[in-house]
Structure 1
């Protein structure tokens, strides 16, 4: 969802990027809920862990406390710890601006560029420096220490209550059970089983050589294209190369001729390998079929003219086979 609906992700090391990424998280989350309402329980479950891992505001100082407080209040609906009333008022004001911006962005389908302007407005509301360094959040619980189910349930109760105005009434017990997620996963497994033979398989693909038929080649034999390609390839193989430079030192022809002998260097280029060409003959080329065949035939004529060993194969999706069209090996 983020890749599809967000055009940039800035670094969280500075205040501007941190706040913009926070706004984008909420915007993408809101858009995602329109695609699948079952996402609500997953979001609350994720916020349950996020609440446990957010730092106490008492442990932060200066403007960093304001930025972290805004993130907690805006995303989770409350703050952890205590802070002065004046600072909390700034956070509430900034969160109100952010909520209105998210609502307007979703309704009018604004993107990341528009959200950047709102991020600047929030920074002015918090009265902080946009280049303020943001430290890495320190989790409340140490890594590897398991928390009890009761602790997590209390957290989910708190978060679901805070976000009830956005998500409606949700049952924390059902969220922890994850029944809806498991049901969705079962559906995906069933779809994967039904389509497992339609993807890449290890089945042996047959190769056939088409029989000669009375085909009118005049429609796809483009003489001008073939001659132009021959000229270009011949020029590439044994032609002159002229360079025009905008800047450089003054050219001293006598010194150059004395220092570069022989003055004219002949470099021969040859293709000493075999070339294999695989063509798409499925229905996807139907609209450009004639031009497609003209280009293929012209390329084969040029490679044969240059005495290059090559083979041409074509595949389609109907007969599930590869056809040998030409073999000059």
Structure 2
């Protein structure tokens, strides 16, 4: 599933991916309401992934012909939506109230149906039809019959596409008539509205009331039995008779249902706190690194890319273990005996073996800079895995650190180039998944203005008190013609901190070239690896010599 701010319709499938709208596209200015709606929609699409056979012949035809949709294909999709939600709730009963919350809000925002198809869609989606008293009575009769048939046919396990053919006949519409896209657009409108807590309660109460009234018109004995409601054999049983057969007071039960739907689970509260915290940071900036101090550093605002794919737990745990040794006072040193070290051999050091030595280590602050120029493309997974693993390990050991990343963009009209330096984490922040998500957003692009980036970050470095280690994750290939300038700024920064570089390559031949690149730029220490999983083995020597 891919989150995209650009899609026109609520959900589309392209290249084996479901494209979902972002939270800001959902119909509420209230972040809590918008988030609950967005969360329920993601669950709905997840149920499609779990329960819908997208590779069946019918669905392949459906998505191959998206822009020439027929009434039959639209009805098929609506029936499948209903089916996967019913089955999904059986698997994840905790989502029942979230789904009801979503349906109540969207029912409140819905318009009066303009045609019989829209009326059927509302009946299937919401269990009710908006302003039903204003709709053609013949439409209502057909819709009720179609909904009743749909539910019974699904219970009998009939094929969704076969059910859709019969529904089209019941509704009196032509199955293969080209779909009017205004029908889809009418369900895609997201008018921003302020909804207070009191209004929210009334919205849910009204939806439940109108849903019950509509259900009363659908004679489906099996549906009532599922709710443990006993009704008489009369097909004209009223909602009042049904209520009387429920133990206890129906109004009290209805109030409990509304209260339960309004209740926000703890997990949602925790997720919301992270989102609200991030919004606050984006609005106010960060203490000590506001635009007044470093005007060219920005914070990623759109958090759509999933960070989980960059989490390598084996790498993270191994790195944590090695850094604990460093805290205990062990470091790796060059020696005439021990483990052979390729970088030292290539650099023509006299001592190209590594051994361990007991040390006493003081407290350091660490700055990490992630190079995400286009030359990194192909390796960017390793660079991000390395960055997140370092962050997780440093965070657990309570070592203060900050993370930056950079790319370069070119204006296609003017051909001007712009360096973008992103703040991923400041020293003052606690490392969380939000920081990891920020990191995930940065995509490799443009040239490598490494010297300019160091100049932008330098004011922060000079304001930072204490001993500093500056780690740059880079291939050591600055923009053409800037090598000497880059070397000069690196040597300038070495007066204030240890300048360390880490690179990742395809194979040993590529690694040897990367080592030469880093050596020529005169970093304090550097390593190049052909496998990110080798990083923990090298980290003691890399950091310990500080």
Q: Which has the higher strand share?
A: 2
Structure showing greater radius of gyration is 1
